[in-house]
Amino acid sequence: MNKGQTVFSQVTDFFPKKRFRQCVNRYNGNHRIRSFTCYNQLLCMAFAQLTYRESLRDIECCLRAMQDKLYHIGIRGKVSRSILADANELRDWRIYSDFAQILIHEARRLYVDTDFGLELEETVYALDSSTIDLCLSIFPWARFRKTKSAVKLHTLLDLRGNIPTFIWITDGKVHDVNVLDHLVPEPGAIYVMDRAYLDFKRLYHMHQCSSVFVTRSKTNTGLRRLYSQKVDKTKNIRCDQIVVATGINSHKDYPDKLRRIKFYDSEKKRTLSFLTNQFTLPAETIAELYRYRWRVETFFKWIKQHLRIKSFYGTSENAVKTQVWIAVSTYVLIAIMKKRLKIDMSLYTILQILSISLFEKMPIYQVLTDRGYSTNIVSSQIQLKLFDS
């Protein structure tokens, strides 16, 4: 007897199904498919992410154990390793990439007013990449070095809500700076990057698009000081200068002025040099902006620990990208659900609770609400009477 929706079904209700069908139709994902549709594939892979399944056999065993409940969570077709493997291998990964972008757009709308630590009206992005090492003999298409393969996730993270707004999946040989060729700079937005992205030609393109960048300067970067501004050394600001590039090519690539700020990191006992095209914010705010760049590194660490993207269910490029994009969709879905239900829990805690309660039939808000309770024990009631006197 059906006594209500399962928790998993309530979670997937947050998926915009109509928009997903549009993504499927865009790439003919269900062409000549009779039973195991793209939506079934999405549900199975999302289940694997939420319950930490390690392999296709693992997914098959767990879902078949709940065979009588699959229909009620939306999985109509038969679930088997071969069917799921073929789906990951053959169905266009762009279906799930486009769908993830739809979820990202929704999540950013919900988190637009979230405070990330600095009182700035502008959108602030952190840009970085993370490498996932692979076996060369199993993933020959993702060559990295002579003895191993790797895929690299180039990610642009919106610091309001820690939502990944752009992800570019490449092999490990692609240098980080190349991602700037694929980004569409947002006017007025602030992009915080490390020194791997120091390319004057690309940075000048961002400047011409009215975007702000904050990046590290390299030790061998040729710069000439035009004039200095007063600084408050009690805030560890060593200098605040207006500079220009002195190299023949670098000055040609970036003919405009730049702002150089040197900040002393008292914890690590080192001086950091920042370059930016932002001339009005206080120098300490620029240094603080760069400090918040660590959030994108924390994001990479978090998804590697709590989502299945370090080991893959398939070996082809299509299967790897499909799994990564569904993992991102799952992460963003939980962020959307957290905001809409106004749940005061971390994403880690929500995932841990969901992992053991997906097939329970109880309201999801009840599952995710921390209702602490205490039992008041009266001293005279500690020992129960076994026999009447």
* Domain segments of the chain as ranges: 7-94+311-368, 194-287
> What's the rounded Cα separation, in Å, for the pair 145 and 381?
70
Q: What average pLDDT does the segment 310-331 reach?
A: 93
Q: What average pLDDT does the segment 364-385 reach?
A: 58
Sheet holding 223-229, edge to edge: 163-171, 149-158, 124-134, 190-192, 212-216, 270-276, 258-265, 237-245, 223-229
Q: How far is CA 275 from the centre of its chain?
A: 26
CB of 282 closer than 8 Å to CB of 120: no
pTM: 0.87
Q: What average pLDDT does the segment 90-95 reach?
A: 95
> What's the rounded Cα separation, in Å, for the pair 163 and 123?
12
User: With 70 as the cut, is the pLDDT of residue 379 above it?
Assistant: no
Encoded amino acid at 382, one letter: I
User: With 80 as the cut, is the pLDDT of residue 382 above it?
Assistant: no
Confidence at 375, pLDDT banded by 50, 70, 90: very low
Three-state DSSP state, 196:
helix
* Structure confidence at residue 372 (pLDDT): 53
Q: What average pLDDT does the segment 309-317 reach?
A: 89
Q: What average pLDDT does the segment 320-344 reach?
A: 93
* Structure confidence at residue 340 (pLDDT): 93
Using a 10 angstrom Cβ sphere, with 0-12 exposed, 13-18 middle and 19 or more buried, the burial of residue 21 is middle
* Closest by CA position to 151, among listed 314, 309, 331, 330: 309
Largest Cα–Cα separation, the chain: 103
* Closest by CA position to 236, among listed 198, 274, 278: 274
> What's the rounded Cα separation, in Å, for the pair 126 and 32?
42
- Return the CA Rg of the chain: 25
User: With 70 as the cut, is the pLDDT of residue 277 above it?
Assistant: yes
Neighbours of 299 (CB within 10 A): 20
Give the CA angle between residues 178, 170, 328 to the nearest 5°: 110
Q: What kind and span of H or E run contains 78?
A: none
* Structure confidence at residue 114 (pLDDT): 86
Backbone angles phi, psi at 376, to 5 degrees: -85, 115
> What's the rounded Cα separation, in Å, for the pair 203 and 201?
5
Mean pLDDT, rounded, of the chain: 89
User: Between these two residues, 77 and 205, which has the higher pLDDT value?
Assistant: 205
Ranking 21-25, 46-50, 74-78, 232-236 by mean pLDDT, the lowest is: 74-78
* Structure confidence at residue 3 (pLDDT): 64
